[in-house]
Structure 1
């Protein structure tokens, strides 16, 4: 699935069936296997077609819709991705309302999804055929189903405040473990995303707790799967030792949760050799010149030709504040990277990637298509170096007015498709430095 899921009554019903691992009723109704008896004496037996239809209508009435948000005239709801691994953001702000000032205050609340947003998440589940293939998602569905079977609704989640549900969708909202930001205004507005991001900055500035707008990875299929080349029980001992600095960069890339950091970690592996290969290339050019049979130390023009080589390189270094990185990157690839192996690795990783690189540029970086299956390996490595280098520049340079430019989070999906090319290239570089045990 790419972009926002289509909201429909049928998708909501299918999502309920998937996460509750049950069979719903007919005629647009959804019936639980066992009714839920609440502490307040109420009973929830499912969701009827009238409620599902009303929720569908409210979602489709939104003026602005994205993969992670719905915006109406005077309110909006944004899916959040906390940017820490220990739940700091949720602990600080869970179910708290922050009221703005002035004659037309804007209110902010962070907590569990609304019934509408919970229904939307069910639609994303229904339209993702890979959802239940993920072990994490299967466990989530099993956990929710077990809670329903055990009628343990008030304690559905121990790390969130108890919920007093009025609807099946209230319970689903709790069980999906998603977090949303609700923004409400006293009059119609069109700048809810600006308001949401302003609140997130305010929260990060004051509380050092960060989150961003985005759809939780649980509810969106991964564009690129993780690399697992073998099963755990088949893993054997290493047969080579590797450079420690390179290993540390590689481990940082594998562990990184943010695509930008992952890409740059792998890039640093190639960058490690830039100065060495660049200087060796200059020595090679000078040596080739002075050992050529046509060269004579007695002719001034021959001496001047060697001086021009050195001067040109020195000028480049001065102008760029260091070695010519794109040239150095190509030299690293020329020395350490086999294109046939790179193609084989990409195909084994994701059979669509080579074709993707051949038919798609990188808009946020101004990087061109590259035909990795080309017959001329040197030309192919040169094209790969240009693409990698332009992507890297887009990540580290963000001057106002410069186009193209990488936008954090907004371009993460595009960047994720560039990571395998950089990672598999970096792996060959690390392996090329290995020493047999």
Structure 2
């Protein structure tokens, strides 16, 4: 039930009021100010309280629920997110049904949401203040209102006679509806099977999940400048770092976003690692107790270098976690990092202090601790373990990141990596 909206008559009614800018009700029904004309000569005047109660009961009777799915005894519905930029999946599969065979045949249908799922999505973006005030939500609501306009070229006539059919069309969301002849408990496996089969045969890919427009974390971007206050840059930045940063900002998949920001820190691993080795040797030979005439003092230098070379050999390269920590030491200011996190989401600092990352085996980080050295070490450890979970996926190794299944957890780790990466980029800037 993680991420599930509260679904009741009040939440649906509030969604209808906001979507259609109407407060008109009669006997508990939702009444539109202006009836909606349909292509069949009928009109829709609103939604009855009986229909709303029926939808609520249907959604709450699901045996299994998640942020992006409802599953009943012999049917299920999953929200889908296309993984291409040109809508190939929706165009190929929209409103098509595919029937299976066997003793318990299964039917797969891709298209606009059911009335029930449309009502759920209405609750989803209505319940969160950040979604309600976002430009994207305003766009969704305007699109829905345009969709019911008889003169709107983009709107297809509603096949049914329910206001929730209008909502389903206006949201432009896509769902996969699966129906079985008998009761089943493996609908998610069936959904993933269909998505693999579709991608294998058509190169059109989609995944189970909510589109970004319904996910508050995805639209709560840090906006340091409002329109009218944006000014010209005062520094130039390293092109490689900028390209990694732009890839992260543009990425729709959390895994790619996280790794793009991580690559910014990784860019300096070799440099800081070598600098650290030089500093250790320099510190030893410039110490007043050091004498080039004493063999034991020369041996102490040799031990430092040998130890580092041994670590490199054992680990197949430099110690990346230590290198990450050195990068944080060199470029990242902890108070500024905390301030950026608080400006983005005031709950994140407490989240990092009180929650580990199960899919990565990463420990808690108390960003407000007085010992900044310890804080940077803890940050480096958490970031590095998350990175390892993303890039290593050997069978049987635990913990392990599961694509899409852990995206919600990973999304909460991205701000820590992003804001650290931003400071690294800015630290390399050259004044114009």
TM above 0.5, one fold?
yes
* Contact 2:99/2:107, CA 8 A, preserved across alignment: yes
What is aligned with 1:55? Answer: 55
Cα deviation, 1:360-397, whole Å, max 9, x if unaligned, reads 22222221222222222222211211111111111111
SS in 2 for 1:233: coil
TM-score, structure 1 normalization: 0.93
> Over aligned residue pairs, what C-alpha RMSD do you find?
2.1
What is aligned with 2:362? Answer: 367
Measure the CA separation in 2 of the matches of 1:126 and 1:394. 34
After superposition, the Cα gap between the structure-2 partners of 1:100 and 1:137, relative to the gap in structure 1 and judged at 3 Å, is same
| 1:36 matches 2:36 | yes
| 1:222 matches 2:217 | yes
What is aligned with 1:275? Answer: 270
After superposition, the Cα gap between the structure-2 partners of 1:240 and 1:43, relative to the gap in structure 1 and judged at 3 Å, is closer
* Contact 1:97/1:109, CA 8 A, preserved across alignment: yes
Cα deviation, 1:59-88, whole Å, max 9, x if unaligned, reads 222111111111111111101111122211
| Aligned residue among 242, 248, 251 for 2:243 | 248
Measure the CA separation in 1 of the matches of 2:43 and 2:309. 80
Cα deviation, 1:235-293, whole Å, max 9, x if unaligned, reads 22222221111111111111111111111111111111111111121122122223323
* Contact 1:156/1:175, CA 8 A, preserved across alignment: no
* Contact 2:73/2:183, CA 8 A, preserved across alignment: yes
What is aligned with 2:104? Answer: 104
Residues 10-19 or 161-170, more deviating = 161-170
Give, in angstroms, the shift of residue 146 of structure 1: 4.4
| 1:432 matches 2:427 | yes
SS in 2 for 1:92: helix
Cα deviation, 1:133-189, whole Å, max 9, x if unaligned, reads 1122123223323444x445xx6745xx65422322222211111110011111111
What is aligned with 2:26? Answer: 26
SS in 2 for 1:65: strand
After superposition, the Cα gap between the structure-2 partners of 1:71 and 1:350, relative to the gap in structure 1 and judged at 3 Å, is closer
After superposition, the Cα gap between the structure-2 partners of 1:239 and 1:131, relative to the gap in structure 1 and judged at 3 Å, is closer
* Contact 1:97/1:107, CA 8 A, preserved across alignment: yes
Measure the CA separation in 2 of the matches of 1:129 and 1:84. 29
* Contact 1:278/1:331, CA 8 A, preserved across alignment: yes
| 1:84 matches 2:84 | yes
What is aligned with 1:169? Answer: 164
| Aligned residue among 383, 396, 399 for 1:401 | 396
Q: Show structure 2 runs of 5+ residues with no match.
A: none
* Contact 1:74/1:185, CA 8 A, preserved across alignment: yes
After superposition, the Cα gap between the structure-2 partners of 1:341 and 1:58, relative to the gap in structure 1 and judged at 3 Å, is closer
Aligned positions of 1:136-151 closer than 5 A? 136-148=136-148, 150-151=149-150
* Corresponding residue pairs, total: 432
Q: Show structure 1 runs of 5+ residues with no match.
A: none
What is aligned with 2:46? Answer: 46
